[in-house]
Amino acid sequence: MNFELKKAIDQISKDKGLDREMLVNTLEDAVRTSVLKRFSDDMDVEVTYNDETGDIEVYQFKVVVEDGDVANENTQIALADARAHDANVQLDDEVGFRIKIQDLGRIAAQSAKQVIIQRMRDAEQGIIYDEFKDRRGEIVSGIIQRRDKGGWVVNLGRTEAILPRDEQIPREHYHRGDRVQALIIDVRREGRGPQVVISRAHRDYMAALFRREVPEVDEGLVRVMGVARDPGSRAKVAVYSRERDVDPVGACVGVRGSRIQNIVQEFHGERIDIVVWSADIATYAKNALAPAFVTRIVVDEEENLLEVIVPDDQLTNAIGRKGQNVKLAARLLGWKVDIFTESRYKEANAIGHGLEQVASVAEVSIETLLAQGYTSLDTLRAASDEELAEKLTISPLRISELRQAINFLAPVVEEQMESSAVSEEVMNVNKAEDQDSPEDRNDHQEEETIPDATEDE
């Protein structure tokens, strides 16, 4: 009995998680391949593993033919020779002959071993791939193993994963033996085995953490509608409640910020803005641009553009440091976002409105004026009659009416622009006053009576 072979099959099946029947079939196929390679490819060979004894039984089968009619000794046997083994055989019967496994030879046995190892490796890789391909979007934990040319190799237990450089959080540093958790974003079939790709910078990783940390999100009462991240620095997460009595922001923040703090700590202090999602894009945009106060929003659905107007003193808050606030908001909304101060928007509108009226008088489109380089009333006023006639293809009568419209509208536009400039100058003066020296501020405080703040306030 070959108990060693039987024990090896049982042990491999247990340690590698491979199906025992698959291992036996692999063993039989490998031995059959080696037999054919050792003797002849046209042999009719049957290999069977005896589970009781642990032995591999190999039989060669030949067809019985008339004496003297043997054309291929590998597949045929003469009747007289066959009856020497079994007196009851008849013509066209199949006779089996046992081949001792020891007769395979050292090279054939080594070949069989290599085939078995390769088949087992392929089977194991197939099982690992099938296990992980359905785990995309799942958070996993592993140990930093070594640095690879593409990033860090992380040991997940059953297999290794790659944490690419562009999927790492900037300014995070790893060392061998560190435990990290990340999100599975891809599983690929490769020659050396399944390649599991994980990420800590992906926006879906943050959404997955909200599902794990916030029961209302996991149960579907609160939905994460979108995530925009600047990994390691700041993120915006849009949430929506399906129940009126459930506050989506409060649910995500938790009591005294306990839930959101767990997520912030995982990202080593990445600031997270929780935004209330709305089906109305203007309302959604106002929420997304917080903490900036928004006066109004002009929606251009054809261009997928939002023109956001903010008070002059809110421009810095709306844009954010290095444009971060508006970039994240635009990414979260999926719209292009242009920020205007109230004064600049009024100024631009005054000029644009004047051009529209002049274009209407001249019976040309505003697009034609802009295409010919007439972007303001001043550029139209400076153009000669011949130039206007040639570029706009209009009659002398229309040119005369156009000039009358310019002369009428220009003072109005200039007045609006001057008003805007004065407002901006006043605002700058107010800012300068707000930046008084400490002594000046103390003087002001002595003149004013400031009530004490209470806990109720």
> Residue 122 above 60 pLDDT?
yes
Question: Are 288 and 228 contacting, i.e. CB atoms less than 8 angstroms apart?
Answer: no
For residue range 376-398, list pLDDT tens digits in order: 777 888 888 888 888 888 888 88
Are both 191 and 219 inside the same structural domain? Answer: no
Is residue 301 situated within a structural domain? Answer: no
The predicted structure's pLDDT at residue 413: 45
Decide which of 107, 128, 149 is a domain's last residue. 128
* Mean pLDDT for the stretch of residues 225-230: 94
Decide which of 222, 247, 277 is a domain's last residue. 277
Decide which of 128, 161, 191 is a domain's last residue. 128
Is residue 450 situated within a structural domain? Answer: no
Q: Which residue has the higher pLDDT, 233 or 116?
A: 233
Q: Which residue has the higher pLDDT, 105 or 362?
A: 362
* Mean pLDDT for the stretch of residues 210-218: 94
Confidence of residue 325 (pLDDT cuts 50, 70, 90): very high
Are both 240 and 262 inside the same structural domain? Answer: yes
Confidence of residue 264 (pLDDT cuts 50, 70, 90): very high
The predicted structure's pLDDT at residue 197: 93
Are both 258 and 354 inside the same structural domain? Answer: no
Are both 119 and 40 inside the same structural domain? Answer: yes
Are both 172 and 208 inside the same structural domain? Answer: no
Is residue 335 situated within a structural domain? Answer: no
Are both 119 and 193 inside the same structural domain? Answer: no
The predicted structure's pLDDT at residue 234: 93
For residue range 10-44, list pLDDT tens digits in order: 777 776 667 778 778 877 887 888 788 777 778 88
Is residue 330 situated within a structural domain? Answer: no
Are both 189 and 217 inside the same structural domain? Answer: no
> Residue 431 above 60 pLDDT?
no
Is residue 212 situated within a structural domain? Answer: yes
Are both 21 and 119 inside the same structural domain? Answer: yes
The predicted structure's pLDDT at residue 101: 67
For residue range 329-374, list pLDDT tens digits in order: 999 999 999 988 887 776 666 555 567 777 777 788 777 877 787 7
Domain holding 261: CATH number?
A: 3.30.300.20
Are both 142 and 121 inside the same structural domain? Answer: no
Average pLDDT, whole number, for the chain?
80
Are both 194 and 207 inside the same structural domain? Answer: no
The predicted structure's pLDDT at residue 227: 95
Confidence of residue 430 (pLDDT cuts 50, 70, 90): very low
For residue range 252-262, list pLDDT tens digits in order: 998 888 899 99
Could you give the percent of the chain with pLDDT greater than 90?
Answer: 29
For the ranges 153-167, 182-196, 209-223, 275-289, the lowest mean pLDDT is seen at 182-196
The predicted structure's pLDDT at residue 71: 85
Are both 224 and 245 inside the same structural domain? Answer: yes
* Mean pLDDT for the stretch of residues 211-237: 94
Confidence of residue 433 (pLDDT cuts 50, 70, 90): very low
Is residue 166 situated within a structural domain? Answer: yes
Are both 220 and 189 inside the same structural domain? Answer: no
Could you give the percent of the chain with pLDDT greater than 70?
Answer: 81
The predicted structure's pLDDT at residue 268: 86
Is residue 40 situated within a structural domain? Answer: yes
Domain holding 182: CATH number?
A: 2.40.50.140
Question: Are 90 and 64 contacting, i.e. CB atoms less than 8 angstroms apart?
Answer: yes
Is residue 323 situated within a structural domain? Answer: no
Domain holding 74: CATH number?
A: 3.30.1480.10
Please state, in angstroms and rounded to a whole number, the distance separating the CA atoms of residues 305 and 327.
Answer: 13
> Residue 446 above 80 pLDDT?
no
The predicted structure's pLDDT at residue 4: 64
Q: Which domain holds residue 31?
A: 3-128
> Residue 441 above 90 pLDDT?
no
The predicted structure's pLDDT at residue 164: 92
Tell me how many domains the chain contains.
4
What is the 3-state secondary structure of the chain? CCHHHHHHHHHHHHHHCCCHHHHHHHHHHHHHHHHHHHCCCCCEEEEEEECCCCEEEEEEEEEEECCCCCCCCCCEEEHHHHHHHCCCCCCCCEEEEEECHHHHCHHHHHHHHHHHHHHHHHHHHHHHHHHHHCCCCCEEEEEEEEEECCEEEEECCCCEEEEEHHHCCCCCCCCCCCEEEEEEEEEECCCCCCEEEEECCCHHHHHHHHHHHCHHHHHCCEEEEEEEEECCCEEEEEEEECCCCCCHHHHHHCHHHHHHHHHHHHCCCCEEEEEECCCCHHHHHHHHCCCCCCCEEEEECCCCEEEEEECHHHHHHHHCHHHHHHHHHHHHHCCEEEEEEHHHHHHHHHHHHHHHHHHHHHCCCHHHHHHCCCCCHHHHHHCCHHHHHHHHCCCHHHHHHHHHHHHHHHHHHHHHHHHHHHHHHHHHHHHHHHCCCHHHHHHHHHHCCCCCCCCCC
